[in-house]
Structure 1
Amino acid sequence: MNRTAGLPLSRRGLIRTGAGASLAALGLGLGAPSASAAVSATKRFDLTQPSYDLFRDKDTHGPRVQQSFAFDWVNKFLYVATKRDGSSESAGDLCINKMDFDGNYLSYMHLDGFGHGVAFAALPDGSGTELWIECATNTNGYGTALAPIRYTPNTTLGSPAASAAFQPISGASEYTCSVDPVYQRMIVRYHTSAGKRIAVYPLSAFQNRTFGTPLVDFKQPAIAGTAQGYALYGSYMYFLTGDAYPGDGTPTGDGNTYVTSIDINTGTVTQGPVLTKAGSTLHFREPEGLAVYRTDAGEARLFIGFATGYEGDRRSSIFYKNALV
């Protein structure tokens, strides 16, 4: 079931952040469990309900697949991270595409040596946008710190060193993040020797560059499938898994894209994995990215992204769910 809808976003909660990165903040221990009900319980998205179109098969600056996307909910722009054309998988070179909500491409920014692009945040900063994104890629192509980067159209920026960016969690070797613009929080997925963990901070921690103890910190529950993105809404995390259609990308069945919700107070699965058939007729259709925000009318939406199209001409397709329970 599909419909096309406009996307006016809320102007409440304008985020203003300072300029530039500083030395890494003091770290936190890895072992502390989440406190009981550390985050007030909220409604969650019902993942069994239909998905609707934002747009399908929209062109980006380069020909390679998208990795994730994020919304500047005040200035009303969409940013789509794609792999940099001509770069190796392990180089960590990204292209950030600025788009409008109809999926029209506006401009690009190249970020060299930043990371894989599984998730990032786009924070309103006056009339511009500050991207919080992984940086200082390792030999596997994943970022080892987080950096605030002012989006500057049609430019190329090399990654700062990890020591000149932010590593808020002691002992973590890889970082990504995603913003919850409704409840004003940032979720961080990080890697340790014991596997993936999740931490949630007030958004003010990123605004002020002073991280302290996260609201919650828990081991990511085991979820089968290829990890392709995550997002936060209130007291629930959403996790995306799946793969592109095999072979030449011709649609086959309903695919294997699943979305799972996780209670961040307990670190346990609440719903799913639930199969999503959004865009099931699209060519290639590799799940790539989740994002959350609320329209001017007050409707919260969970957005699901896909890389679609043909080899050498990959496109961006984005859908959403809006049923809360």
Structure 2
Amino acid sequence: MNRAPGFNLSRRGLIRTGVGASLAVLGLGAGAQNASADVTATKRFDLAQPSYDLFRSKDTHGARVQQSFAFDWVNKFLFVATKRSGSAESAGDLCINKMDFDGNYLSYMHLNGFGHGVAFAALPSGSGTELWIECDANTNGYGTALAPIRYTANTTLDSPAASAAYQPISGATEYTCSVDPVYQRMIVRYHTSAGKRIAVYPLSAFETRSFGSPLVDFKQPTIAGTPQGYALYGSYMYYLTGDAYPGDGTPTGDGNSYVTSIDINTGTVKQGPVLTKAGSTLHHREPEGLAIYRTDAGEARLFIGFATGVEGDRRSSIFYKNALI
């Protein structure tokens, strides 16, 4: 893969939340189960086009695999969520790693009992960052609400109760979210008794903590493979599936990491699943996380993350696609 120069995120259309990280307010919204489609059609990423390196095999605070990642597009930092060393899978204990865009580790924050970390958002808040992340993990280790957390370096925070956080969708039992900084929206993947659903809100709903009905709300289409992350760009959702290389993690063929695009106005697959060969020579190579950002020059990019490296020393590797159609 090639590394494209000049990774600088856009300062156009920037959002400064200007709000704190209070967890003391209950945020229950009705949330229409079948909201009318209300998102203007946009271009989408061509998943068949090549991927490029952001960085490979960068160290994080802990030794376990990354789960997802998010960018603060104003303050120019990357946040990588990893599983906590020594914690059970069902505990919901996460380590949030703050990094620069070259993949250099800067600091950490430990979150106890928050969730699995499939996806989260990093919203610029003045000179700091507010993380919107699942919280109050259930017995399976998945968050049951969404919480805004002020990133505070080298500290540990226990999860708030779901009743002290935000549950925008009535009846939902699990939540994760991801931000589209270009079109200023937040996508929420949530679980119900009928399965997984997707809702999209204006980002302002999260800034004001006033959710109401989402712009769109639909049943997630059936896509084969292990779910490993999702992101939103304009009127399309992107969905990552796949597994690590089998056995000892030695690279084997092209792997089974696939990316799919979904039209959020119809809830149907637009392209894919498309095999991605990004970082195919890396050891272990487990797909982990998607994110969307735009450079200072105005180039939109779909980022794809992988947990790489050997057992006991897992690393972060991130790539991107930039061809729109």
TM score, norm. by length of structure 2: 0.98
* Residue of structure 2 in register with 1:108 after alignment: 108
In structure 2, what is the Cα distance between the partners aligned to 1:269 and 1:239?
10
Aligned-partner SS, 2:85:
coil
Contact 1:30 1:171 in 2 (8 A): no
* Residue of structure 2 in register with 1:78 after alignment: 78
Contact 1:69 1:80 in 2 (8 A): yes
In structure 2, what is the Cα distance between the partners aligned to 1:31 and 1:103?
40
Deviation at 1:29, TM superposition (A): 4.9
Residue deviations 1:111-159, cap 9 Å, x none?
0000000000000000000000000000000000000000000000000
In structure 2, what is the Cα distance between the partners aligned to 1:142 and 1:5?
37
* Residue of structure 2 in register with 1:27 after alignment: 29
In structure 1, what is the Cα distance between the partners aligned to 2:138 and 2:256?
29
In structure 1, what is the Cα distance between the partners aligned to 2:312 and 2:128?
31
What RMSD in Å do the two structures reach over aligned CA positions?
A: 0.9
Residue deviations 1:278-319, cap 9 Å, x none?
000000000000000100000000000000000000000000
In structure 2, what is the Cα distance between the partners aligned to 1:295 and 1:288?
22
Aligned letter for 2:113?
G
* Residue of structure 1 in register with 2:61 after alignment: 61
- Percent identical among aligned pairs is 84
Q: Tell me whether 1:310 sits opposite 2:310 in the alignment.
A: yes
Aligned pairs for 1:272-291 within 5 A: 272-291=272-291
Aligned letter for 1:192?
T
Aligned-partner SS, 2:2:
coil
In structure 2, what is the Cα distance between the partners aligned to 1:191 and 1:125?
29
Aligned-partner SS, 1:47:
coil
* Residue of structure 1 in register with 2:17 after alignment: 16
In structure 2, what is the Cα distance between the partners aligned to 1:178 and 1:111?
18
Residue deviations 1:23-66, cap 9 Å, x none?
3323325532x424x10000000000000000000000000000
Any unmatched runs of 5+ in structure 1? none
Deviation at 1:16, TM superposition (A): 1.6
Aligned pairs for 1:251-266 within 5 A: 251-266=251-266
Aligned pairs for 1:210-229 within 5 A: 210-229=210-229
Deviation at 1:11, TM superposition (A): 1.8
Aligned pairs for 1:108-257 within 5 A: 108-257=108-257
Aligned letter for 1:26?
L
Deviation at 1:270, TM superposition (A): 0.2
Contact 1:25 1:167 in 2 (8 A): yes
Moved beyond 3 Å, runs of 4+: none
Aligned letter for 1:25?
G
Aligned letter for 1:114?
F
In structure 2, what is the Cα distance between the partners aligned to 1:4 and 1:324?
16
Contact 1:22 1:166 in 2 (8 A): no
In structure 1, what is the Cα distance between the partners aligned to 2:165 and 2:220?
24
In structure 2, what is the Cα distance between the partners aligned to 1:152 and 1:106?
12
In structure 2, what is the Cα distance between the partners aligned to 1:190 and 1:256?
25
Aligned length: 323
In structure 1, what is the Cα distance between the partners aligned to 2:170 and 2:18?
24
* Residue of structure 2 in register with 1:298 after alignment: 298
TM score, norm. by length of structure 1: 0.98
